Amino acid sequence: MIGKNIYNFCEKIFPINRSLTGDGVRKTLEIIKDEVGELNIYEIPTKTECFDWEVPKEWNCKKAYIITPDGEKICDYSINNLYVVQHSTPINQEMSLEELEQHLHSLPNLPKAIPYITSYYSKYWGFCISENNRKKLKEGKYKVVIDATLSDGAMTYADLVIKGREDKEILFTTYVCHPSMANNETSGIALNTFLIKYIQNLKDRRYTYRFVFAPETVGAICYINKNLKNLKENMDAGFIVTCVGDDLSYSYVSSRKGDTLADKVALNILNYGVEKFEKFDFTNQGSDERQYCSPKVDLPVCSVNRTKYGEYKEYHTSLDNMDFVSPKGFGGAYNVYTKIIDVLEKNGYYELQTYCEPQLGKRGLYPNISTLETAKETNIMMNLLSYADGEHDLIDIANILNIEATLLIDITKKLYQENILKVKE
């Protein structure tokens, strides 16, 4: 149900011509704002310096295509925005096939796929084409048109901070710079949007939640540049929301340190909440964890995915389309992420208030008749009390008990209400 809703939203933004900069990003962010009711959209001018980088020129592509010697229009950007190398310089020119071939990109091993190619930082123009169609091209004069502007403008990104009782923050960030590919990366935008709605509906929130939608790498670098102080002071855990729509597997990319709160909660939910998942250490990083975990930035950020970027053959091609993702895929990712939120909301270093075990019977917390079911619950409760020593948080205790930490939430609440457990100051 929720998976279907996310899928539908993904489908809606899928066709938009997003790139590192430009109007496609703006249009996407406006649709998100409509969906959730609130969103801060920022424009950061070309050439603005952000740490070691500067914001590149803005690229907008009106149309792009090739006319074959037979007069056929191919590689039409209005049909599929992957046909054009991102940030191509404008061109309008006739040329031989030989000359054109220098600017064509295809994948011999995936002959039906249009590849996704970018050239953000070197001047270049090019087209992407399936290997099958490339082979059909004959000798002759080709007309090549890219009607695009690459000029001073801005890079666009957005965030939304939803306040909780505490200033401490949880971050969910995704990237908005990819054109029409579904899993990487329209899925992250869609899921992040629905996580906003989940938080908006969460009563009596403990944490403050920060949602970010920015271009990958340079967008994340600019975002960190603008928000470093606050992020360093307040972030308890953060997640790169990417590749969350397919149903092939679950994956996890660790933070650089590997043992942050973000890693801990993600691993508990993945270890006990899904049938299996692939575990990638940080040396496999390839997205914005690289910025958030950079030594001087050093934030507790990991990534939870369905099938990780680079681990499926359709990755970075036109085959990563709406057929590759599914309501079931989105539903699974949403389930994992909302469990992560639920656990973080209640997590803490609890301390047992009594010497020795409390007399649970007199408080109605100990079963009169013992069954296998109550025995399991009692064992969980007794161990929760035993490890409530101010040195193990709920996730640690769940890990010791080999259970999903969500299973401790209700018991903890009862024991807290009875003043048996308190949170360590």
Binding site for a second copy (CB under 8 A): 51-53, 121-122, 217, 220-221, 224-225, 228, 256, 281-283, 285, 290-291, 293-298, 351-352, 354-359, 361-362, 368, 379, 382-383, 385-390, 400-401
Smallest separation (angstroms) from a second copy to the CB of 401: 6
Which residues lie closer than 8 Å to 4 by C-beta, 6 or more apart?
327, 331
Alpha helices in 167-258 (DSSP H): 187-200, 218-234
Cα 154 from chain centroid (whole Å): 23
**In the complex with a second copy, which residue's Cβ is closer, 86 or 291?**
291
What the block records as the tokens of 326 is 């599914």
**In the complex with a second copy, which residue's Cβ is closer, 298 or 311?**
298
First-to-last CA distance in the chain?
A: 41
| Three-class SS state of 38 | coil
- d(C-alpha 89, C-alpha 103), whole Å: 12
**In the complex with a second copy, which residue's Cβ is closer, 300 or 332?**
300
Cα 124 from chain centroid (whole Å): 29
**In the complex with a second copy, which residue's Cβ is closer, 189 or 297?**
297
How many angstroms separate the Cα of 51 from the Cα of each of 54, 74, 255? 8, 41, 21
How many angstroms separate the Cα of 278 from the Cα of each of 234, 263, 292, 304? 30, 14, 22, 10
**In the complex with a second copy, which residue's Cβ is closer, 102 or 201?**
102
DSSP lists the bridge partners of residue 350 as: 423
Smallest separation (angstroms) from a second copy to the CB of 226: 12
- d(C-alpha 121, C-alpha 28), whole Å: 24
**In the complex with a second copy, which residue's Cβ is closer, 78 or 230?**
230
Smallest separation (angstroms) from a second copy to the CB of 59: 17
| 314 C-beta neighbours (distance < 10 Å), count | 19
Smallest separation (angstroms) from a second copy to the CB of 293: 7
Smallest separation (angstroms) from a second copy to the CB of 355: 4
Smallest separation (angstroms) from a second copy to the CB of 416: 15
Smallest separation (angstroms) from a second copy to the CB of 287: 12
**In the complex with a second copy, which residue's Cβ is closer, 71 or 108?**
108
**In the complex with a second copy, which residue's Cβ is closer, 217 or 234?**
217
Smallest separation (angstroms) from a second copy to the CB of 182: 23
Smallest separation (angstroms) from a second copy to the CB of 384: 10
For the chain, state the CA radius of gyration.
25
- d(C-alpha 223, C-alpha 226), whole Å: 5
- d(C-alpha 210, C-alpha 233), whole Å: 13
Amino acid sitting at position 263: D
**In the complex with a second copy, which residue's Cβ is closer, 92 or 368?**
368
CB 47 within 8 A of CB 155: no
- d(C-alpha 387, C-alpha 392), whole Å: 6
Classify burial at 359, counting beta carbons within 10 Å of its beta carbon; exposed 0-12, middle 13-18, buried 19 or more.
exposed
How many angstroms separate the Cα of 257 from the Cα of each of 25, 54, 170, 243, 367? 32, 28, 17, 22, 43
**In the complex with a second copy, which residue's Cβ is closer, 165 or 376?**
376
Smallest separation (angstroms) from a second copy to the CB of 424: 11
Query: Of 162, 181, 197, nearest to 32 (Cα)?
Result: 197
